Amino acid sequence: MTGPATVVDVCAFDEMGDGEARRIDTHGHRLAVVRVGDAVYVIGDRCTHAEASLAEGEVDTDTLHIECWRHGSSFSLVTGEPDVPPATRPTPVYEAHVADGRVVVSLAAEGTEVSRG
């Protein structure tokens, strides 16, 4: 059984540019925090094909996808689902919002990444 979620302040929203992704390691989770306009998305920062950092990839602000730089798989920032091979499994998606100018993320129990979508 999973314990209550931990709410974590991960970065200042205004320090991120539109379409920027940033890797954040916190509480046993490796996150890709992505700003698109006035919204923020947080997904697991591991490509499910080759473990590459998704935060190093290109963000498509029109389709809300991030591309893995290593082999070109593309993941939805909304669902975590890949839509371009070679990845076939989703990456976790985390609830996130901006509060008082800070990006705040809800995490499951330490080290547990839970996919939703």
Do 21 and 59 touch, CB atoms closer than 8 A?
Answer: yes
17 burial level (CB within 10 Å; 0-12, 13-18, 19+): exposed
**pTM for this entry:** 0.88
**Residue 4: HSE in the Cβ half-sphere, 13 Å Cα cutoff:** 3
Task: Kindly tell me if the per-residue pLDDT of 69 is higher than 60.
Answer: yes
Task: Kindly tell me if the per-residue pLDDT of 116 is higher than 60.
Answer: no
pLDDT value of position 115: 40
Task: Kindly tell me if the per-residue pLDDT of 113 is higher than 60.
Answer: no
> In whole angstroms, what is the distance from residue 97 CA to residue 40 CA?
6
Averaged over 81-100, what is the pLDDT?
A: 95
Q: Which amino acid is at 106?
A: S
Tokens for 5, please give them.
């979620």
Digit-coded pLDDT (tens) for 101-111: 999 999 975 44
Digit-coded pLDDT (tens) for 12-29: 999 999 999 999 999 999
Q: Which CATH number fits domain 6-107: 3.30.413.10, 3.40.800.10, 3.40.50.10860, 2.102.10.10?
A: 2.102.10.10
Question: If DSSP codes are grouped into helix, strand and coil, which group holds residue 110?
Answer: coil
Averaged over 65-69, what is the pLDDT?
A: 97
In the chain, where the domains are located: 6-107
Helix (H) or strand (E) holding 71: none
